[in-house]
Amino acid sequence: MAGPDYTLERTEMVRTIESHAREAGLALRGNQIDPKVLEVLRAVPRHEFVPEGFREASYADHPLPIGYGQTISQPFIVALMTDVLDAGPNGVVLEVGTGSGYQAAVLAQLVRQVYTIELIPALAGSAADRLSRLGHANISVRQGDGYYGLQEAAPFDGIIVTRRSRAYSARHFSSS
């Protein structure tokens, strides 16, 4: 039995993101999120990355708890970080703080390879399983402390660091 589709909810989530982007125009090119990023957000099933009890709120524009004191980032923040990162289709990106794997899943649609590292073993394991089940072959999930990056996979075209509800994005850095 198939679960809810959530297509309408994803569409409404993207409308909200577009509205926030117009309001936050200072950091964005042309007061908008790149249409390619919005297209990916319309396609990636965010409800798959939140615990069962929060699925109805999956597409609301706020963070949601994923366990272990961590959250899945607000959709607008995921969109903004992805847009600012501006990694191209041949890009290799490091994400520090895998969480549930949603940001990695979004990035994987836009770049060649995503390396993501998560400190909490249970989150790393469940994210790896989820991303594999959803068919994301270009994401490598590692469990460990991302403080020093991931030297064996460097250099990166971009790095995204998330910590609970705070998130940071940088471009063109290696992890050395």
Which residues on adjacent β-strands are paired with residue 116? 95, 141
Active site residues: 73
Which residues on adjacent β-strands are paired with residue 95? 116, 160
Q: Which residue, among 84, 175, 171, 98, has the nearest Cα to 139 in the 3D structure?
A: 98
H or E element at residue 17: helix 7-23
Cis peptide before 65 (omega within 30 of 0): no
CB 38 within 8 A of CB 10: no
